[in-house]
Structure 1
Amino acid sequence: MGRLWRTRHPVTFREKVRYKMLRDHRPLVVTFADKAAVRDYVAERVGAQYLPHAVVVDAPAELLTVELPDAFVLKPTHGSGAAIIVSPSAPVDARLPKDGSWVYRHVRPEHAPREELVRIAADWVSQLYGQGPNREWVYGRVPRRIIVEEMLGGAGDRIPDDDKFFVFHGRVQYVQVDAGRFAGRTQDFFDRSWNHLPLSGGPPWGDPTPPRPAALGEMIRIAEALAAETDFVRVDLYDVDGRIVFGELTSFPAGGDSPFHPESFNTEFGSHWAVPKRYR
């Protein structure tokens, strides 16, 4: 918690995320973090047509009997950074993790027996997520459940790019594009007009540079509508062959440890965000 306390007068983006983590305890932030509850919020704000098809189970054992398609994504509702993607396009040698680690894994249906999925899901729900150096208190208030979502496959069953919209005070300022999550991951940053930024968050830039989405205007509209009630949130969306699909809302990207290379972008991102003295 030490780093969180050194944010009384935050300037940079990382400092302001930590400030928000420490001070913003509104129920809205809990709703954003809950992968099940946020679906109702999205449906109310922009419409259920943007939601992926999903089933939520309260107990991991329910996965033994719930109807599952050939391709789906299994996630815990109370954390981030964990998913089991099951589809025929997975690498032939990919296997499930040996425990409920907070990792992404892409496996084929024949390598994802129900009993193993139950085991992993049970490990997930036994854990309290977000207990690192910058403690993300919000996940402790989210019911520990499991959500099964449709597999979002683009042309050729390709996992679509993850478009992450940084929304400050209801306005999109930047877009982060993550591609190739399971093979050759790349990451690019753009401003809202799709000008490429000389910024790296770790992974290399895409080659070629990701093209401007045909539906960028609609995606910005959706992101700004979902962010209208808060000072900052990152809105993750997918463009699946012209179909816009909601991913998640993230109030505390990287737990307040987002890397910026060059570091000047840490200050630039923060310049768009005027944190309140008190969250109400």
Structure 2
Amino acid sequence: MISITGKKVNIFGLNIYGMILAYTLKNEGKEIKILDNDKEKQGKEILFGIECLPPKNINDGLYIITAKNENNQKDMYDQLHSYGIDNIYFLSKRDMTDLIKDTDDRIYIECLWKLKMKYDICLDRPITFNEKIQWLKLYDRKPVHTIMVDKYKVKDYVAEKIGEKYVVPIIGVWDSFDEIDFETLPEKFVLKCTHDSGSVVVCDDKSKFDPKLYKDKFDAALKRNYFYDYREWPYKDVPPKIMVEEFIDSGDHEALLVYKFLCFNGKPKILQMIQNDKHENESIDYYDMEWNLLELTQNFPNSREHLGKPVSFERMKELAKILSKDEILVRVDFYEVNAEPIFSEFTFYSDAGFEKFNPPEWDKQLGDWLILP
């Protein structure tokens, strides 16, 4: 990590790197200023009573640029240089990695929270749903959670709990992309990483599938530890692998419908019904356990056409209750195939605990339902 001998440090770029750097250097006794071009951030208290300022030549201290993108770095350097500033340092990729990995989890969450939610979190007395998720990241760390988010090992876990018939069969699992012999795979399959979220490719016609197009994506994913970005602890020690699952046909829909049961202290309370999952026209509708539509939106709009209740809805509820029995909070996701539930995945920290609720009162309502130990 960068060694700073001077007393004055001016951090240009209010991102997570800038927040953590300011926190670290302030605790070392440095005199910190935080600069950013975003007028929405300027004039607002960031941490330790420090306000965000517009970039300018404010003192003879060191100016540190925290941008990750090289083009942004150059623009920010040119801007500072135009003010007559020459004492400029760029955070290297190694600096950024060290900042993220070396920072205490609680401090990291507090900094990230302030950056995203614009107010200070009290982790000792969390109230809202999002706040309580941050608490769970720190203080609900059961070893079994690592198995539950491992997309390979979770299959045996779920099969033992509710039966193998509810689990999507695996075709194979590998340590690297280069080990996969695509010639031996069926005409349709699903390729995904076991250790993260989002590294998924669906092949519905192998004659049109070019593995070379996805090699870089999966090579990069295997090198990434999904834990560090949001401190989602269960992912920290999941072995990075690539697996291939059997393809499930979505029928008349662009993508499989997904039914996500949010379970509080072992009880399903809210269902998210996802249409066109991971597509541009994705929509989410919210229902209670009596299939009443709730007035709630988050990152995606409600659907234009509300579909009917799935045939296996009651069975899904039963299975979600079984699978969430020992958990303070977990989301249990299913598909429906031939009128039967099929397990998809567990999620412990919905949207990493930074969900935008509309209306915002839902954040407090869900927080009231979530009883911490």
User: Could you say which residue in structure 2 is the equivalent of 1:91?
Assistant: none
Q: Secondary structure at the match of 1:234?
A: strand
TM-score for the superposition, normalised by structure 1: 0.85
Are the counterparts in 2 of residues 155 and 241 from structure 1 also a CA contact under 8 Å? no
Mean CA deviation greater in 153-162 or 77-86: 153-162
Give me the whole-angstrom Cα distance separating, in 2, the residues matched to 1:238 and 1:34: 18
Of residues 130, 136, 152 in structure 2, which corresponds to 1:14? 130
Give me the whole-angstrom Cα distance separating, in 2, the residues matched to 1:256 and 1:7: 13
RMSD: 1.8
| 1:130-187 deviation digits (Å, cap 9, x = unpaired) | 432x322322210001121122213247422111001111111000011112241111
Mean CA deviation greater in 39-48 or 206-215: 206-215
Matches for 1:131-170 after TM superposition, within 5 Å: 131-132=228-229, 134-156=230-252, 158-170=254-266
Q: Which amino acid aligns with 1:241?
A: N
Are the counterparts in 1 of residues 275 and 283 from structure 2 also a CA contact under 8 Å? yes
Moved over 4 A (4+): none
Are the counterparts in 1 of residues 269 and 288 from structure 2 also a CA contact under 8 Å? yes
Give me the whole-angstrom Cα distance separating, in 2, the residues matched to 1:163 and 1:224: 14
CA offset at residue 110 of structure 1?
4.1
Flag structure 1 segments of 5+ consecutive residues without an equivalent: 89-108
Of residues 317, 321, 326 in structure 2, which corresponds to 1:220? 317
Q: Secondary structure at the match of 2:220?
A: helix
User: Could you say which residue in structure 2 is the equivalent of 1:180?
Assistant: 276
Mean CA deviation greater in 148-157 or 189-198: 148-157
Are the counterparts in 1 of residues 177 and 219 from structure 2 also a CA contact under 8 Å? yes
* Counterpart check, 1:251 vs 2:251: no
| 1:50-77 deviation digits (Å, cap 9, x = unpaired) | 1111122223222125732222211111
Q: How many residues align?
A: 255
TM-score for the superposition, normalised by structure 2: 0.65
Change in 2 beyond 3 A, CA 1:146/1:241: same
User: Could you say which residue in structure 1 is the equivalent of 2:286?
Assistant: 189
Provide the identity percentage. Answer: 28
Would you tell me which structure has more helix in proportion to its own residues? 2
Q: Secondary structure at the match of 1:141?
A: coil
Higher relative contact order (CA 8 A, sep 6+): 1
Q: Which amino acid aligns with 1:59?
A: S
Give me the whole-angstrom Cα distance separating, in 1, the residues matched to 2:253 and 2:364: 39
Flag structure 2 segments of 5+ consecutive residues without an equivalent: 1-107, 114-120
Mean CA deviation greater in 168-177 or 111-120: 111-120
Mean CA deviation greater in 27-36 or 154-163: 154-163
Are the counterparts in 2 of residues 63 and 117 from structure 1 also a CA contact under 8 Å? no
Are the counterparts in 1 of residues 250 and 257 from structure 2 also a CA contact under 8 Å? no
Of residues 194, 207, 217 in structure 2, which corresponds to 1:77? 194
